[in-house]
Amino acid sequence: MIFTVAIDGPAAAGKGTIGRAVAARFGFRHLDTGLLYRAVGAKGGDPVAAAVGLVPGDLEQDGLRSLAAGQAASKVAVIPEVRAALVAFQRRFARADGGAVLDGRDIGTVICPEAEVKLYVTASAEVRAHRRWLEVGGDQSVVLAEVRERDARDMGRTDAPLRAAADAVVLDTSEMTVEAAVARAIAVVEQAMEGRG
């Protein structure tokens, strides 16, 4: 069975948590596409060469969840040649037999516009910054400024800007528990699967 769940949204909205839970519930494979960009940014050197030469093992390196790796990812993600090199990798993953969940910034709009389910997971900048601060520590006001800066860069880029697909189900997790957000996402996927008959 080919069945793709595309989950988009800004940093620290809950995409990864929801994506992993949905994948586990349905036995689908999961890809945090942000890790691709984080791995390219972490490699240093020529980002295009790093993207072209990316192998699955690169996604296992330490430090890819750090704030610095996230900032590096956002910077290399604006390079069209980097994005092009990683698109094919993501599309193959998404449409392989057995079902897949991909979370990122442009899955439902660019990578998999044909996805059977599209979710746009969001939350206020303040809530997302607080979550990120709990994860990485530091000065909370600096984390908020970095979240806002990253949003502006991701939403303002020319190539594949962050936005909800026209047919995405928007899930605002600002006031939701993790359990409630996961339950809502699972319900959307179940409904789509039933609709396919």
- Give the residue ranges of the annotated binding site for ATP: 9-17
CB 108 within 8 A of CB 6: yes
Neighbouring-strand partners of residue 120 = 8, 170
Q: What is the CA radius of gyration of the chain?
A: 16
Residue ranges of the binding site: 9-17
What tokens appear for 28 in the block? Answer: 């689908």
